[in-house]
C-alpha cells in the first residue's frame, strides 16, 4: 500500500493541515468535530478561540483505537477496559485519570481526560493517516463538536460551513466532508468516581447497555438547574445546543391550542400521526419526525438548523416517546428549549 500523500486526497490534505497546527473539521458517527493535534497546545488553544468556548471546558481526545489510551490516561479502571472492548469504536466517551501527556489546554486543568474512539470511517482514516505521518499510532485529535459555543452541534458538513465557516472567510482551516452523521447526537459520556460508573451526558449508548456489559449498576450525574454552573461538562449546562429562536416542548394534547394562539409562522416537529391532527394553515409549517428514537436523533439537529435558518419564529416539538431510548433526545430538546423566552411573550395575548 502506498503511503505517498496524494494532493487530491482530502484525508491527506487534512493531515497536512493538522501537521501545521491547523484546525480540521471532520465527521464522526455522532456529530462533526473540530480537531487539532492534542500534542500542540497552540493548535488546541485555537479550537477554543474558534468556538468562543471558555478555556476551562475540557476537550475530548479522539484516538484510533484502545491501544492509544495508555498514552493519555493512567490508572485505567477495569470497567473502562470492558466498555472499550464492547463499545469502541463507537459513540462512548470515557473520562479517565489523565497522564502527563494530556496537557492542561486539553483537560481545562482538571486531573481527568475524556477519550473516545470514533467509528466513522473518515475519522478512522484521518486518525490512522495522521498517526502514520507523525510516526506515532497513539496520536490524538482534541475535538469538541464543530459549532460555536452554545449553539447546535453539526450533524452534516453544511452545518459547519454555515456556523464556524471555512477559511479564508471562516474559522476552520479544512473541512473533511463525510456526509451526514449516522447517530446525529453527541456521544454518551461516562466517568468512574470511586469504583462507580456514572453517566455525565446521555447518548445513543444507553445506561442499561453499559450496566449489562459491566454487570454493575450505572448512576447518573445530577443535571444542574438553570442557576447551576457546572464547567466540567458544558453540554450539561442549560440553554446549550440551542437554536437562536424559541423552541418549546409540548404534549400532543396541548399542541392544537398552542398552534392556534402562538405567533406565526410556527414550525411543528412531530410524528405524522400527530401532524395529521392539525389543519393545514398558511403560517403553520409541519416537519414530520420519525417515531423511532434512532432516526429521530439522527435527524434532530438538521431539523433545528433548518428551523434556525427558516422563517418560523417558534418551534413546537412533540416528543414521540418517553422510554429510556428517548432519554438522550429529550435531554437535548430540554436544553434547546431552556434558553427560550417565557412562552407568554410568544402568544397573541393582550396582556
Ligand atoms: O460525540 C461527541 O462526543 C462529539 C464528537 C465530535 O466526538 N464531541 C463533543 O465534544 O460533543 P464537546 O466538547 O462538544 O462535548 C464534550 C463534553 C463537554 O461538555 C466537556 O465538558 C466534556 O465532554 N468533557 C470532556 N473532558 C471531560 C473531563 N475530563 N471531565 C468531564 N467532562 C469532560
Ligand atoms: Mg459541543
- 137-196 pLDDT, tens digit per residue, is 999 999 999 999 989 999 999 999 999 999 999 999 999 999 999 999 999 999 999 999
Query: Cβ(147) to ligand 1 under 6 A?
Result: no
Quickly list DSSP for 199-245: EEE--SS-HHHHHHHHTS--EEPPPP-TT---TT-GGGSTT-S--SS
Is pLDDT of 204 > 70? yes
Q: Which ligand is nearest to the CA of 185?
A: 1
Chain mean pLDDT for the chain: 91
Task: Tell how far the Cα of 34 is from the centroid of ligand 2, in angstroms.
Answer: 10
Is pLDDT of 239 > 70? no
> Is there a contact between 84 and 117 (Cβ–Cβ < 8 Å)?
yes
Per mean pLDDT, which of 226-230, 293-297, 334-338 is the most reliable?
293-297
Contacts for 127-130: CB closer than 8 Å, 24+ residues apart: 127/62, 127/63, 127/64, 128/64, 129/11, 129/12, 129/14, 129/15, 130/14, 130/15, 130/18, 130/19, 130/37
Ligand 1: which of 33, 60, 122, 127 to mutate, most ligand atoms within 8 Å of CB? Answer: 60
Query: Cβ(73) to ligand 1 under 6 A?
Result: no
List pLDDT tens digits, range 304-350.
999 999 999 999 999 999 999 999 999 999 999 987 655 543 443 33
List pLDDT tens digits, range 29-74.
999 999 999 999 999 999 999 999 999 999 999 999 999 999 999 9
pLDDT of residue 350: 32
Helices (H), the chain: 10-19, 41-51, 69-72, 78-87, 104-107, 121-134, 157-162, 207-214, 252-261, 272-275, 293-309, 327-338
Q: Which of 1, 58, 39, 47 is nearest to 22 (CA)?
A: 47
pLDDT of residue 274: 97
3-state secondary structure of 87: helix
List pLDDT tens digits, range 20-41.
999 999 999 999 999 999 999 9
Q: Which ligand is nearest to the CA of 149?
A: 2
pLDDT of residue 223: 60
Helix axes 207-214, 78-87, angle to 10 degrees: 120
Parallel, antiparallel or unpaired: strands 314-317 and 33-37: unpaired
Q: In which band, very low, low, confident or very high, does the pLDDT at 243 lie, cut at 50, 70 and 90? A: confident
Distance CA 68, CA 65 (A): 6
pLDDT > 70 fraction of the chain, expressed in percent and rounded:
89
Q: In which band, very low, low, confident or very high, does the pLDDT at 279 lie, cut at 50, 70 and 90? A: confident
> Is there a contact between 171 and 165 (Cβ–Cβ < 8 Å)?
yes
Ligand 1: which of 48, 120, 144, 328 to mutate, most ligand atoms within 8 Å of CB? Answer: 144
Task: Tell how far the Cα of 58 is from the centroid of ligand 1, in angstroms.
Answer: 7
List pLDDT tens digits, range 111-143.
999 999 999 999 999 999 999 999 999 999 999
Residue in this structure with the C-alpha cell 489523565, named with its chain if needed: 98
Taking residues 226-251, report their average pLDDT. Answer: 64
Indicate which atom in ligand 1 lies nearest the CA of residue 183. 1
| Residues counted in the chain | 351
Amino acid at each position: 500500500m502506498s503511503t505517498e500523500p496524494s494532493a487530491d486526497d482530502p484525508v491527506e490534505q487534512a493531515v497536512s493541515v493538522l501537521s501545521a497546527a491547523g484546525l480540521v473539521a471532520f465527521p464522526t458517527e455522532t456529530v462533526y468535530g473540530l480537531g487539532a493535534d492534542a500534542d500542540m497546545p497552540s493548535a488546541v488553544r485555537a479550537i477554543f478561540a474558534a468556538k468562543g468556548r471558555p478555556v476551562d471546558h475540557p476537550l475530548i481526545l479522539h484516538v484510533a483505537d484502545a491501544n492509544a489510551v495508555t498514552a493519555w490516561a493512567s490508572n485505567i479502571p477495569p470497567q473502562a477496559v470492558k466498555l472499550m472492548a464492547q463499545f469502541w469504536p463507537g459513540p462512548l466517551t470515557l473520562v479517565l485519570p489523565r497522564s502527563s501527556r494530556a496537557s492542561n489546554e486539553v483537560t481545562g486543568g482538571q486531573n481527568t481526560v475524556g477519550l473516545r474512539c470514533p467509528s466513522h470511517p473518515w475519522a478512522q482514516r484521518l486518525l490512522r493517516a495522521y498517526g502514520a505521518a507523525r510516526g506515532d499510532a497513539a496520536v490524538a485529535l482534541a475535538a469538541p463538536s464543530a459549532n460555536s459555543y452554545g449553539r447546535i452541534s453539526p450533524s452534516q458538513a453544511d452545518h459547519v460551513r454555515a456556523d464556524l465557516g471555512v477559511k479564508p472567510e471562516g474559522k476552520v482551516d479544512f473541512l473533511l466532508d463525510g456526509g451526514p452523521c449516522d447517530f446525529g447526537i453527541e456521544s454518551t459520556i461516562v466517568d468512574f468516581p470511586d469504583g462507580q460508573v456514572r453517566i455525565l451526558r446521555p447518548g445513543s449508548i444507553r445506561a442499561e447497555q453499559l450496566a449489562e456489559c459491566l454487570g454493575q449498576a450505572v448512576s447518573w450525574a445530577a443535571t444542574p438547574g438553570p442557576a447551576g454552573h457546572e464547567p466540567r461538562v458544558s453540554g450539561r449546562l442549560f440553554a446549550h445546543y440551542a437554536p437562536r429562536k424559541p423552541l418549546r416542548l409540548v404534549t400532543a394534547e396541548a399542541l392544537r391550542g398552542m398552534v392556534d394562539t402562538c405567533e406565526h409562522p410556527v414550525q411543528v416537529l412531530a410524528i405524522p400521526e400527530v401532524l395529521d391532527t392539525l389543519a393545514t394553515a398558511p403560517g403553520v409549517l409541519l416537519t414530520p419526525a420519525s417515531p423511532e428514537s434512532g432516526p429521530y436523533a439522527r435527524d434532530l439537529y438538521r431539523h433545528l438548523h433548518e428551523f434556525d435558518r427558516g422563517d418560523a419564529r417558534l418551534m413546537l416539538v412533540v416528543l414521540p416517546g418517553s422510554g429510556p431510548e428517548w432519554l438522550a433526545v429529550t435531554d437535548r430538546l430540554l436544553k434547546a428549549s431552556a434558553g427560550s423566552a417565557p412562552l407568554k411573550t410568544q402568544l397573541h395575548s393582550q396582556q
